[in-house]
Amino acid sequence: MNTALAAPAHAADALDLGPAWHAGFADLGPAFHTDTPPTALPETQLVALNAPLARELGFDPARLTGPEAVAALSGSRPIAGTRPVATVYSGHQFGVWAGQLGDGRAILLGELRTPQGPIEVQLKGAGLTRYSRMGDGRAVLRSSIREYLCSEAMHGLGIPTTRALSLTGSPQPVIRETVETAAVVARVAPSFVRFGHFEHFSANGLTPELRRLADFVIDRHYPDCRSAAGNAYANLLEAVSARTAALLAQWQAVGFCHGVMNTDNMSILGLTIDYGPFQFMDAFNPAHVCNHSDHGGRYAYHRQPNIAYWNLFCLGQALLPLMDEQQQALDALEPYKALFPAALTRRMGAKLGLQATAEGDAELVEALMQLMARDAVDFTICFRRLCDAVAGDSAPVRDLFLQREAFDAWAERWRERLQSQPGFDAAATAAAMRRVNPRIVLRNHLGQIAIERAQQGDFTEVRRLQQALAAPFDDREGEDDLAAFPPDWAQQIEISCSS
Ligand SMILES: Nc1ncnc2c1ncn2[C@@H]1O[C@H](COP(=O)(O)OP(=O)(O)OP(=O)(O)O)[C@@H](O)[C@H]1O
Ligand SMILES: [Mg+2]
């Protein structure tokens, strides 16, 4: 059922932003959500707008910049045609069952129909909901800038992610370790359903609702799971596992640490979701833990692929009531073990200029990563300089290593492998490598500089970063500072769950 929405009760005050809204998820019924209007913030202002995305969604960007629209995008004025709800989910946090969670500060407005399919819109930080528990329903400007920029950075890198439409701020104080100010990210995705949504209905023995949710997701996003042979829900689990494997390979290949891979932060569509304590690594350390609250290092970079598998197990467990036997879930999860390493070798091989995977490539990649780890080499700069080494000068990449002879020995093996490719063309290979090895990623210190300026009321750096991160593979003038090594103070930045 996909009904267009009736005008809400507060229609007189509601602002028409252009495109028509549909209920989508809210049609599932009251077991899945609670009607929750956003809570207004005072004196809202536009920190940044994603005009290209606005156009894709059917908005006229010029119409989103006026004070009324900015109030609407921050949840401070109702949007005509929307039906705001907070959805309920549960989840495993840091390996432990956490029980009911839910959208404690994100409010789903409804969905827009685009040529690419339905797109849900949420306001994160838009006020208290039934699921806020001890929280205040708010998000601070600091963490909202990080979410806004990183979701678009991931999109620019070609990594599946929720996306950010707008970032609005307000002087309203929000208490974290210090007093900060409130902000709201309007974010979009084809679906915000998480593994935790399934865990919720399963753990509560609500099998009809569990089935309803699974059918909703299959019908809209995985129709092949029903037409294929076998149990449709086991097929769903297998399809989600495949997307998750592909996602994790992409994270690992850009040195991205998520920081809070709890099952409530795992997207059923294999999107990156919840930009909290994430980090793009500077110096490569496979055991790097970006979240200062993660004392045990559960979500260290090198553990991410196994954690994803653990989370998929939780999803499989949740879907069991819809399967005929446990073995179906186990069989659906099995392919991850081969899919992930194959995808990683393919991605890392492409970073090294290899068009197809051959025997020995995984080992060649691993040997480089070990050298990088031993010398704490900068992840992004190393791969970018390798591009230049194919057709030209290898001194800049060699200079990154302390153990130069070890690097030379590795580079010789690499060159041999490159030249073994049929029709090898050095210039074309270097160009292809530049399309997969970004020049610019959202390093912690770059975000920090933009945050500190924005906290002073200057949003220019947020907007400059947004533009640069949208095309992270390009060599553009005036962006050398964004592609440079991190300053020493970058190591002192502490990123925690506080947001
Ligand atoms: N300030 C807050 N007020 C209310 N609830 C919160 C707040 N911060 C986090 N929560 C809730 O705590 C749980 C775990 O938070 P987590 O940090 O994973 O998510 P989040 O950053 O709020 O958002 P999301 O996963 O939607 O991006 C979620 O249910 C979340 O809604
Ligand atoms: Mg979360």
Answer yes or no: are the C-beta atoms of 472 and 446 closer than 8 Å: no
In degrees rounded to 5, what are phi and psi of residue 226? -85, -35
Segments making up each domain of the chain, as ranges: 11-189, 195-345
Which residue has a Cα nearest atom 2 of ligand 1?
135
DSSP string of 223-262? Answer: THHHHSSS-HHHHHHHHHHHHHHHHHHHHHHHTEE-S---
First to last CA, the chain: 36
CA distances from 215 to 135, 225, 232, 322, 382 (A): 32, 10, 9, 11, 45
Give the residue carrying structure tokens 């907007």. 463
Q: Is the CB of 103 under 6 A from ligand 1?
A: yes
ipTM greater than cut 0.95: yes
What is the rounded CA–CA span in Å between residue 41 and residue 330?
A: 48
Beta bridge partners of 164: 187
* Spacing, Cα 92 to ligand 2 middle (Å): 11
Which residue has a Cα nearest atom 23 of ligand 1?
274
| pLDDT tens, the chain, 499 aa long | 344 444 444 556 899 999 999 999 999 999 999 999 999 999 999 999 999 999 999 999 999 999 999 999 999 999 999 999 999 999 999 999 999 999 999 999 999 999 999 999 999 999 999 999 999 999 999 999 999 999 999 999 999 999 999 999 999 999 999 999 999 999 999 999 999 999 999 999 999 999 999 999 999 999 999 999 999 999 999 999 999 999 999 999 999 999 999 999 999 999 999 999 999 999 999 999 999 999 999 999 999 999 999 999 999 999 999 999 999 999 999 999 999 999 999 999 999 999 999 999 999 999 999 999 999 999 999 999 999 999 888 999 999 999 999 999 999 999 999 999 999 999 999 999 999 999 999 999 999 999 999 999 999 999 999 999 999 999 999 999 999 999 999 989 988 788 9
Q: Is the CB of 260 under 6 A from ligand 1?
A: yes
Predicted TM-score of the model (pTM): 0.97
Which residue has a Cα nearest atom 19 of ligand 1?
274
The residues annotated as belonging to the active site are: 264
Answer yes or no: are the C-beta atoms of 187 and 74 closer than 8 Å: no
Q: Is the CB of 126 under 6 A from ligand 1?
A: no
The answer to the question of whether 378 is labelled as a binding residue is no
What is the rounded CA–CA span in Å between residue 432 and residue 423?
A: 14
* Spacing, Cα 262 to ligand 2 middle (Å): 8
The answer to the question of whether 176 is labelled as a binding residue is no
* Spacing, Cα 104 to ligand 1 middle (Å): 6
Kindly report the length of the chain.
499
* Spacing, Cα 105 to ligand 1 middle (Å): 6
What is the rounded CA–CA span in Å between residue 24 and residue 29?
A: 10
The answer to the question of whether 63 is labelled as a binding residue is no
What is the rounded CA–CA span in Å between residue 181 and residue 31?
A: 33
Answer yes or no: are the C-beta atoms of 195 and 311 closer than 8 Å: yes
What is the rounded CA–CA span in Å between residue 255 and residue 279?
A: 8
Q: Is the CB of 274 under 6 A from ligand 1?
A: yes
Burial 337-366, CB ≥16 within 10 A → b, else e? eebbeebbbbbbbbbbbbeeeeeebbebbe
